[in-house]
Every structure is written in structure tokens, then in C-alpha cells.
């Protein structure tokens, strides 16, 4: 029997450099979940249709089920496990999801939060309509959409208030 060929891969995941041997067909999603044990990123459709597997790649949101791990040599990946501070303080959007009751079963939540964090960083959460449009790649079977939009809107408003305060100082 021939041995399966693997490639060496080094990437940063949640601030840690990870070096692994990976088969060329392994997706980033499977690499994160099965090789690195980061089970927070969820596999929904595995076909790029639901957004459950969304992670941040060099700050941009991507469906990790559509990426091959081997494509990410040297990249910086952030998953839901990497969003809280080192002392466990939740990211403001994680806290807002709790405050606004933005999840039910929670299966879509890691992808929703990663997508929402990128959206906020992109500065595109400028209106309710924009939030809905830019979050449309993330599906929620439970239908928590209204509260998800509330959570993102609340963080966007807080960021705008902070920016105004800082500009006034």
C-alpha cells in the first residue's frame, strides 16, 4: 500500500504558531476541528452555503469549508476560541450576543460572531439593512436573525460613540 502524501504547513491560529503535516485535500475547517481540536467552528452544509464554518483569515471572514488548509501557509487564522481576551473577557460582540439573546441552539453562533466581528471591522455595519445584507451568508435555522442584528447594531453604536468621544478629546 502506498503512503498518503502530506505537506508541511505552518500557520498562526488564535495567536499560536501551529505546524502540522496535512494531506492536500484537507479543508481548513477539518484542519481546525480534527487536527487542532478547535471544535468551536461548526460544520453545517460543508458546501459554502450556510456560513457555520466562518473564521477570520488575515482579518477577512471566509468559509473554512471552502478552503484547503494547504492554501494557508503563513496565514493568521482566528476562530471563535480566539476572540476573547487572554483573561477570558469576551469580545464585545460575544457579550452582545448574550445580552440580546441572539442564539437558541447556538450551532450557527460561532460563524455568525466571526462574520459579525469582520463586518464591524470593515466599518460596514452602518444600518440595519446593511447588517442584514452583509450577514446574509450566515444562515440560522433557529431564526434568531432579529436578535443577531440587534447585537451587531448595539456594538456598532457603541463603537461609534467611542470614536466620537475620542475625536472630541
The residues that touch ligand FES, with contacts defined as CB under 6 A, are: 43-46, 48-53, 63, 65, 103-109, 140-142, 144
- For the CB of residue 33, give the shortest distance to ligand FES in the complex, in Å: 11
Residue 16 CA, chain-centre distance (Å), reads 17
Pick the closer one to ligand FES by CB: 141 or 161: 141
SS3 19: strand
- For the CB of residue 148, give the shortest distance to ligand FES in the complex, in Å: 8
Instruction: Show the beta-strand stretches assigned E in 14-138.
Output: 16-22, 54-57, 60-63, 76-78
Pick the closer one to ligand FES by CB: 105 or 164: 105
Pick the closer one to ligand FES by CB: 125 or 144: 144
Residues 71/57, Cβ–Cβ less than 8 Å: no
- For the CB of residue 62, give the shortest distance to ligand FES in the complex, in Å: 9
Pick the closer one to ligand FES by CB: 45 or 160: 45
Q: How far is CA 70 from CA 28, 39, 152, in A?
A: 8, 19, 32
Amino acid at each position: 500500500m502506498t503512503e498518503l502524501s502530506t505537506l508541511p504547513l505552518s500557520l498562526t491560529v488564535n495567536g499560536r504558531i501551529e505546524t502540522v503535516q496535512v494531506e492536500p485535500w484537507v479543508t481548513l475547517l477539518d484542519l481546525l476541528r480534527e487536527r487542532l481540536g478547535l471544535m468551536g467552528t461548526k460544520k453545517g452544509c460543508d458546501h459554502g452555503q450556510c456560513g457555520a464554518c466562518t473564521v477570520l483569515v488575515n482579518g477577512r471572514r471566509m468559509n473554512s469549508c471552502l478552503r484547503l488548509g494547504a492554501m494557508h501557509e503563513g496565514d493568521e487564522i482566528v476562530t471563535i476560541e480566539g476572540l476573547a481576551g487572554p483573561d477570558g473577557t469576551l469580545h464585545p460582540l460575544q457579550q452582545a450576543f448574550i445580552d440580546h439573546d441572539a442564539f437558541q441552539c447556538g450551532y450557527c453562533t460561532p460563524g455568525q460572531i466571526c462574520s459579525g466581528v469582520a463586518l464591524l471591522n470593515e466599518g460596514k455595519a452602518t444600518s440595519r439593512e446593511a447588517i442584514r445584507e452583509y450577514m446574509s451568508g450566515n444562515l440560522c435555522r433557529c431564526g434568531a436573525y432579529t436578535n443577531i442584528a440587534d447585537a451587531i447594531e448595539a456594538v456598532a453604536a457603541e463603537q461609534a460613540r467611542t470614536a466620537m468621544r475620542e475625536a472630541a478629546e
